Amino acid sequence: MAELSETTGVPVPTIKYYMREGLIAPGRPTGRNQADYGDEHVRRLKLVRALVEYGDLPIAVIGDLLARVDNPNLEVYDLLAAAQKAVTPRKEPRPGPCKDKAEDLLRELLTRRGWRIRTGDPAYRTAVGVLATLDEVGRQDVLDVLDVYAEAAERIAEADVRVLGADLGDRERAVEIVVIGTSVGDTLIAALRRLAQATVGERMYT
């Protein structure tokens, strides 16, 4: 286990904890208090670390996700959808007329762009809440350019899927890409947006 810890950079007590929680399979016994750990243990441990560090997921959620990874009867698309939902915060919109208008607006947008409507998806619920808030504070100007934001989001999503495509045969790797790509990618997009805002603002107002 010390060698496994050295290879992955995960402390031995943490590895033992993951094993107790069923996230990492036990090694092959080679003697009293000794076991052999192979490449599959290294890969799984790195995946768990990615889910913890980048996905910021609870151990129970990680356990459920890994059970899906190990289920050969689960289609890859369904596995990736579960991974994305696991790292997407769910923020329920407040009831009221603004929420109803926001949901109508979002449905119209998704229909217009040919996107699937998944009302139970965490991202869908969050989008409704954001649109409702914009309506409440009188930012119709933002709502008016919703299609522009959707166009940019679709282009980013296309790039995401192209990056993922080469790894669809490796279920663990695919989940890792979705988790890291979503968490780190969101941060990267936000940073690039701010850099672009500074540049565009300078062009327009100076």
Q: Copy the structure tokens of residue 206.
A: 């100076």
Answer yes or no: is 185 within a domain.
Answer: yes
Q: Examine the domain organization and report whether 44 and 102 are in the same domain.
A: no
Look at the chain and report how many structural domains it folds into. 2
Q: Examine the domain organization and report whether 104 and 199 are in the same domain.
A: yes
Instruction: Tell me which of 21, 36, 53 is where a domain ends.
Output: 53
Q: What is the pLDDT of residue 17?
A: 92
Q: Examine the domain organization and report whether 103 and 178 are in the same domain.
A: yes
Q: What is the pLDDT of residue 157?
A: 87
At residue 69, does pLDDT exceed 90?
no
Answer yes or no: is 77 within a domain.
Answer: no
H-type alpha helices, 37-121:
39-53, 59-69, 76-86, 97-113
* Pairwise pLDDT comparison (192 vs 170), residue with the higher score: 192
Q: What is the pLDDT of residue 167?
A: 64
Domain span at residue 32? Answer: 2-53
pTM beyond 0.85: the answer is: no
> pLDDT-based confidence at 166, cuts 50/70/90?
low
Digit-coded pLDDT (tens) for 6-56: 888 888 899 899 999 999 888 887 777 778 888 888 888 888 888 888 777
CATH code of the domain in which 30 resides: 1.10.1660.10
Answer yes or no: is 196 within a domain.
Answer: yes
Answer yes or no: is 180 within a domain.
Answer: yes
Q: Which long-range contacts (CB under 8 A, 24 or more apart) does 38-43 make?
A: 41/4, 42/4, 42/7, 42/8, 43/172
Q: Examine the domain organization and report whether 186 and 103 are in the same domain.
A: yes
Digit-coded pLDDT (tens) for 85-132: 887 877 788 888 999 999 999 999 999 999 988 888 888 999 999 999
